Homo-oligomer: A and B are copies of this chain.
Amino acid sequence: MSIHAAAGFAPKYASPVARAKIGAAPDDGLSAIQALGQLAHYARDTTIFSDGDDALYAYKIVKGTVRLCKMLSDGRRQIAEFLRAGDFFGFEWRDAYSLTAEALEDTVVVRVPRARLDRLGEERRDVQHMLMSLLCNDLCVAQNHLLLLGRQTARERVVSFVLALAARNKAKSGDTLAVPMCRQDIADYLGLTIETVCRAISELKRARLIGVPNRTQIVVLNLAALREIAGHDA
């Protein structure tokens, strides 16, 4: 199931060739990759690797959630991406990791030595293609994130965040979304303070666009109106 999620990760940016092969044998490259790895467990709020570490392993999430972030020396933090079961990461750098990966809840991963992954990439064209597609997808995600951080208001950012959660789950109006990250993580992802995130969420709640039964769930009440606020296709 986690395999399946990863195979469907970046269909939009997959090359024709990669798509054909993945289509023919959905988890082909990935199962080969996973065969090279071993399971590892990380507890809540533990570091998987740090910015600057030698990039010895690539990872695939089996269960849990991971945040990728960069820090300034004074402690300011920017989260680049949240990753969930099925997502693949750590293959994006050749020498050293350029950011830090932390488990934000108890997380199980498959850990694959980079040397082996590189060798597999040499041998198998489909694996090479898949890595390329994943990279392209990450880049595309990052570029949309740039637009959000540089040019959107606090309300728009929070709405975009909710819509991104909804898109991942293919949620419709009425569906409930799991929110595994705390408010501070959301703030650091959106380039805001925790208070501003709270206020924006409360505002959406008052406007009946979302419901907030508790701190780890959000109910999508009016998807169309949310999309209207975000202002561009998410």
Name the residue in A76, A99, A135, A151 with the highest tally of chain B Cβ atoms < 10 Å from its Cβ: A151
Pick from B17, B18, B118, B135: contact of A15, CB under 8 Å: B118
Pick from B78, B93, B136: contact of A93, CB under 8 Å: B136
One digit per residue, 1 when the CB lies within 8 angstroms of any chain B CB and 0 when it does not, for chain A 127-139 equals 0100111011011
DSSP majority for the A interface? helix
A94 CB-CB contact with B under 8 Å:
yes
Residues B136 and A231 in contact, CB atoms below 8 Å apart: no
A65 CB-CB contact with B under 8 Å:
no
Assembly CA distance A79 to B184 (angstroms) = 27
Residue of B nearest to A140 (CB): B98
Residues B78 and A140 in contact, CB atoms below 8 Å apart: no
One digit per residue, 1 when the CB lies within 8 angstroms of any chain B CB and 0 when it does not, for chain A 88-117 equals 000011110011000000000000000000
Please, which residues of chain B bring their CB within 8 A of the CB of A139? 92, 98, 135, 138-139, 142
Residues B92 and A136 in contact, CB atoms below 8 Å apart: yes
Assembly CA distance A12 to B78 (angstroms) = 22
Assembly CA distance A142 to B94 (angstroms) = 16
Residues B149 and A14 in contact, CB atoms below 8 Å apart: no
A73 CB-CB contact with B under 8 Å:
yes
Please, which residues of chain B bring their CB within 8 A of the CB of A205? none
Taking A70-B143, A93-B136, A139-B139 as given, write out 4 further A-B residue pairs in contact, using a Cβ cutoff of 8 Å, ordered by the A residue number: A72-B231, A92-B140, A146-B149, A150-B191
Residues of A bordering B, CB below 8 Å? 12-15, 17-18, 70, 72-74, 76-78, 80, 92-95, 98-99, 118, 122, 125, 128, 131-133, 135-136, 138-140, 142-147, 149-152, 188, 190-191, 231-232
A-B contact pairs, 19 of them (CB 8 A): A13-B95, A14-B94, A18-B94, A70-B147, A73-B232, A77-B151, A78-B147, A78-B150, A80-B143, A80-B146, A92-B136, A94-B132, A98-B139, A98-B140, A135-B136, A142-B146, A149-B149, A149-B150, A149-B191
The 5 nearest A-B residue pairs measured at CB: A150-B191, A149-B149, A142-B142, A78-B150, A78-B147
